[in-house]
Structure 1
Amino acid sequence: MSSTLHRLSLVRLADEIRRGAVSPVDAVRCMMDRIAAHDGALHAFAHLNDAALDQARRAEAEIAAGLVRGPLHGVPLAAKDLFDTADMPTEFGSPVLRGRRPAQDATVIARLRAAGAIILGKTTLTEGAYADHHPDVVPPVNPWGAGHWTGTSSSGSGVAVAAGLIWGALGTDTGGSIRLPSSCCGVTGIKPTWGRVSRAGALALAPSLDHMGPMTRSVADAVTLLGVMAGPDPRDPTASQLPVPDYMAELTKPVRGLTIGIDRGLLKARADDQVLASMEHVIEVMTGLGARIVDVTLPPIEPALTGWAVQCAVEAAIVHREHWSTRAAEYGPRLAALIERGHRHTAFELAEAQEHRRDFAGAMEAIYAACDVLLIPGLPVAGPTLDYMSGLGEDPAAILAIGPFTAPFDVSGQPTITIPCGLSETGIGGGGIPIGCQFAGPRFAEALIARTAHAFQTATDWHTRRPAGYA
C-alpha cells in the first residue's frame, strides 16, 4: 500500500492507523518522500518539521498500547505559515519576521496535536496573507498547470493538498484565501463562520475579517478537521461559545427537499461562460438528488466590496504598526501598498465601510428566509492564468475583480464551503484547470453547507481527480 498510501482519504487513513493497518511512521515517510520528489518544483512548503518522524514513532507506540488520543492520531497535516508552532518557525511569508520562533502553539495547532495529528510542515503563503508573495519568496506552482494562478493567500496549502503532498492543511480566509486556492487547485475548503474557530496564535491580516479553516481532498476530510479545530477558547474572547455539532453525523442526512438559492443576475454579470456552465452542472446534480432551486437576489455587493478594501487596509496598518515604523523598506510592494492605504484612510471612510458591512450582513442573513443554502461560484473566471492576473491592475481593483464571490462572505461572516465541480476547457499546456463552486449558509450553518456539498461529492467524482504527474 505504501506506493499508493497518498491516495487514501484523510478519514480512511485515520481509520487504517487506528486499526494498526497503517503505521504513522509510514504515513510520514510517504509524505516526506513525495515532498522530496515534487516540492522542488511546486514550492508548497516553507518549513518542514525535523521531529515529525520521532512524533510518528511515539504515535505508533501509543496506538499499539491502546492509547488513541483522538480522531487524527498519527495523521500528518500541514499548516499555513502564519499559525504559531513551537517546534517550527512562523514567518508569515515576510522577511520582517524571518527566524521568528513562537514559544506557544496557536490554539488550532494545539487542538490538532491533542487529537493526535502530526504537523509535518508549514506551507508557503503570500506576504502577510495578502495578495502577493514577497519578492524574496518563490511562489507555489499550480500542479494542474504552471501558467495558472494558485489562488491566494493559502497558496501553499492548496498546492500541497492538490499534489498529494499532505492529507490536509490549514488555511485562512480574509477575502477568499481558503476558497480561491481551493477553486484553482481543485480541493475542498471550508471558511467557517467568523468566531467558529479561534484566531489565537494566528498572525492576522485584518482581524475582523480573518477566518481559519481546513483544506482537504473531500468534504468528509474537511469536517473531520473542522470538528477538532472549532469551539470556544479562553485565549480568543471573540470565539463563539456555541457547541460544536457532530459534523460527520450530519453528512449522512439527505438533501431531498433542501432549497438552494441562486442569483442568476449576479452570476451573468460577473462570471464567464465556463463558470456559468459549471453552475448549471451543479444545479442538475443537486436537482437530481431532490433539492429544489429557487431564484434569489443578493443585496448589492459593490458597497460591501469597497468597504472590505477599506477595512482590510486599516486593520492591516494596525497589525503592522510596530514593524512598519522601523522596517517599512523590507516589505514587498503589494503588502506595503495596502499598509500605506490603511494609513491614508479617514475615520469617515472607515465608519462608512462599517455601516455598509452591518447593512450587508443583515441583508445576507435575511436571504435565508427564501432558501436553505446559496450556490455561488468560487471564482468569476475559469482557470485564470498568471498573465490574466497580472493584467487586473493595482489594488484594490485586482482584489475586487477576482473576489466578488468570496469577499462578501468575509464581510458578512457567514460560512461557505468550496468544492471542485468541473474543469476548464483547456489550460496552458492543454489540460483543464479546476473550477470550484461554493455553498453558503447562515451563520453557524457549517453542518448544513457541508451536508449539501457532501451530497454533490457522493454523486460526482470531481474531488477524486488529481493533476497529471501527481496521481
Structure 2
Amino acid sequence: MSSQTDLHYLEMHELSLLIRTGKLSPVEVTEAQLARIDRLDCDLHSYACVTPELALEQARLAERELAKGICRGPLHGIPIAVKDLLHTAGIPSSAGMPIHREFIPQEDATVVARLREAGAVLLGKLQMTEGAFAIHHPDYTPPNNPWHAGHWAGASSSGCGVATAAGLCYGSIGSDTGGSIRFPSAANGLTGLKPTWGRVSRYGCFELAASLDHIGPMTRSAKDALFLLSTIAGHDPRDPTSLPCVCLEIPGIDESFHGLRVGVDEAWLSDGVDPVIQSALQQVLGVMAAGGATLQRVCVPDPRAVSANWENHCGVQTAVAHSSTYPQFAAEYGPALSRLIDGGRALSGMDYQRVLLDAQRFNGELEALLNQVDLLIAPVQPIAAPTHEQLANLAQDPEANRRLIQFTAPFNVSGHPCLSLPCGFTDSGLPIGVQFIAGKGEEGLLCRAGMALQKVTDWHKARPASL
C-alpha cells in the first residue's frame, strides 16, 4: 500500500479549492489526467472511450470563466468520467454491448447534462459489463483491478472503480442494479453511494431493470460522494419516477457519529462472512461507538428470498428493456446476458407476482426497522477480495451467487440508499468494504456517517502501490 498525495490522487473537494483559489489550472489538471490515462490505461482497460478534445475544450472554458470570477460550483473545472451506459451527445454510448458500438446519442442523459452545467470536465466513458449485467461481453477486455490484476474489480461499474482508484479521473458516475456501485467500490478501495431509488434521474441511461437501477457517485471519500450527488440529484420531469426532491446542500453536514443509532444484527453480519471482514466490521463499530454512536441489537428482515429472487426480478425487466433487439439479434449477445433475458422471458406472470410480493414484504419490514434506528451496518460482500477463479466457481453455484449479493441486492429491491466505504485490508493488502444503509432520502445522513468515519481513519487514503 501507499499513502501518496500526488496531484492525480487529490480528493475532489481538495482539488476544487485549489482550482477556485487559482493555485491549479483546470487545463493543467486535465492535461495531466489525459497523460496519465494514456500511460496507464493500456494495462488497466478502464476506459471504453477517452474524449481528449472535449475535455480540453471544457477545461479551457472553465479556466476562462473562473478567471472572470464566474464559478458554477464545486465541480467547476474538475475532470471526471461516466459509465458507458449514460448517453453523451455526440459520443459513442455502447453500454458494454457490441450491438450498440455505433450508437451515438443526440442528447445527454440528465446526469451528464447536470455535470456539464456544473462545469465538470468529461474525460470519457468508462468500461462496463454487457448491458450492466454480471459479465463483460466476450469481445471486450475487462478492466484490471489496480491493487492486483488477479482479483475481481467489481461488477458492472468496474471501469468506474478502476479509473477512480488508479487516479485516471477524480470521481465517476456508476450504476447499481444488484451491487454494481458497491462491489467495485469495495474491490478498489473507494467510497460509493447508491442513492434512494428515484433520487437521481435515469433519463438517458441504458436500462437493465427499471425498478432496480440506481445511478450514483464513485469517489475517493464520502465528502466527494456528497459533492457529486449534490450536483446530479433532484427531480427531472423527463423521468416520471424521479423523486420530487431538491438537491442536497453540502454545508451543514455534521461530521460526527454523536447521537446516531446504529442497528447491528450480529447473526446477519457473520452468516458465511469471511473472518477478516467480520473483524473489520467490529473495528468500524468500535470507532462509531467511541465517536458517540449508540449500537442497538436488531434483527434485519430475512433477505434470503429477495436475494434468491433477484435474478428473476431483474431478468423479467431486462427482457422488456431488450425487447427491440432480443431475440432478433440474440447471436450478438454474450452468454450471461442471454441467459438472464431467456430466464426472464420464460418466467410466468404468477411466479413474477410471487417475486413482487416477497419484495414488498422485505421493503415494509425494512422500513419499520429503519424507524427504530438511523443506520444499519453490513459487509458489502461475504468474500474478501475474491479472485477471478473464485468468481468463476461461484457462477456455477446458484446458492453461492445468492450469498454474494445478499448484502447488496435486497436494497436495490427496496430502493434504500447505501454507502460503501473502505474499512481495512486483507493480509495481502487488498481493500475491504463496509456498507451503511439508511432510510429513504437519507443520503445526507449516510454521508455524515461516512465523513465521520473518514475523519478519524485513513483507510480511504491508501492507494494501489503498483501505480
Q: TM-score, normalised by structure 1?
A: 0.96
Please state how far the C-alpha of 1:251 moved relative to its aligned partner: 2.9
Q: What is the aligned counterpart of 1:434 among 431, 434, 440? A: 431
- CA-to-aligned-CA distance 1:400-423 (integer Å, 9 cap, x gap): 231110001101100010000000
- Say what the alpha-carbon RMSD is for the aligned residues: 1.3
Q: Which residue of 2 aligns with 1:26?
A: 28
Give the aligned residue type for 1:465: A
Give the aligned residue type for 2:450: A
Asked whether the equivalents of residues 44 and 141 of structure 1 are also in contact (C-alpha less than 8 Å), the reply is: yes
Q: Which residue of 2 aligns with 1:454?
A: 451
Worse-matched range after superposition: 72-81 or 362-371: 362-371
Asked whether the equivalents of residues 378 and 436 of structure 1 are also in contact (C-alpha less than 8 Å), the reply is: yes
Q: Which residue of 2 aligns with 1:295?
A: 297
SS in 1 for 2:326: helix
Counterpart-to-counterpart distance in 2, 1:363 and 1:326: 41
Please state how far the C-alpha of 1:439 moved relative to its aligned partner: 0.7
Q: What is the aligned counterpart of 2:199 among 188, 196, 199? A: 196
SS in 2 for 1:293: strand
Counterpart-to-counterpart distance in 1, 2:238 and 2:8: 35
Please give the residue correspondences for 1:202-351 in structure 2 after superposition, counting only pairs within 5 Å: 202-246=205-249, 248-351=250-353
Please state how far the C-alpha of 1:253 moved relative to its aligned partner: 4.6
Q: What is the aligned counterpart of 1:361 among 357, 360, 363? A: 363
Counterpart-to-counterpart distance in 1, 2:256 and 2:399: 41
Please state how far the C-alpha of 1:395 moved relative to its aligned partner: 7.5
Counterpart-to-counterpart distance in 2, 1:157 and 1:62: 28
Q: Which residue of 1 aligns with 2:43?
A: 41
Asked whether the equivalents of residues 197 and 212 of structure 1 are also in contact (C-alpha less than 8 Å), the reply is: yes
Which blocks of at least 5 consecutive residues in structure 1 are unaligned? Answer: 427-431
- CA-to-aligned-CA distance 1:114-148 (integer Å, 9 cap, x gap): 00001111000000000000000000000111110
Distance 1:46 1:111, change over 3 A: same
Q: Which residue of 1 aligns with 2:96?
A: 93
- CA-to-aligned-CA distance 1:89-120 (integer Å, 9 cap, x gap): 10000111011100000000000110000111
Q: Does 1:443 align with 2:440?
A: yes
Q: Which residue of 2 aligns with 1:147?
A: 150
SS in 1 for 2:251: helix
Identity of aligned residues (%): 45
SS in 1 for 2:49: strand
Q: Which residue of 2 aligns with 1:57?
A: 60
Please state how far the C-alpha of 1:396 moved relative to its aligned partner: 5.2
Counterpart-to-counterpart distance in 2, 1:399 and 1:127: 18
Please state how far the C-alpha of 1:394 moved relative to its aligned partner: 3.6
Please state how far the C-alpha of 1:398 moved relative to its aligned partner: 5.4
Asked whether the equivalents of residues 422 and 431 of structure 2 are also in contact (C-alpha less than 8 Å), the reply is: yes
- CA-to-aligned-CA distance 1:374-415 (integer Å, 9 cap, x gap): 010111111111111011134855542311100011011000
Asked whether the equivalents of residues 86 and 101 of structure 1 are also in contact (C-alpha less than 8 Å), the reply is: yes
Q: Which residue of 2 aligns with 1:134?
A: 137
Counterpart-to-counterpart distance in 1, 2:430 and 2:256: 30
Q: Which residue of 2 aligns with 1:120?
A: 123
Aligned residues: 462
Counterpart-to-counterpart distance in 2, 1:369 and 1:446: 16
Counterpart-to-counterpart distance in 2, 1:454 and 1:137: 36
Q: Which residue of 1 aligns with 2:377?
A: 375
Q: TM-score, normalised by structure 2?
A: 0.97
Counterpart-to-counterpart distance in 2, 1:309 and 1:205: 12
Q: What is the aligned counterpart of 2:18 among 16, 19, 23? A: 16
Counterpart-to-counterpart distance in 2, 1:80 and 1:53: 20
Give the aligned residue type for 1:459: V
Distance 1:75 1:445, change over 3 A: same
Distance 1:7 1:129, change over 3 A: same
SS in 2 for 1:323: coil
SS in 2 for 1:391: helix
Counterpart-to-counterpart distance in 2, 1:435 and 1:342: 33
Please state how far the C-alpha of 1:369 moved relative to its aligned partner: 2.9
Asked whether the equivalents of residues 255 and 451 of structure 2 are also in contact (C-alpha less than 8 Å), the reply is: no
Counterpart-to-counterpart distance in 2, 1:469 and 1:249: 36
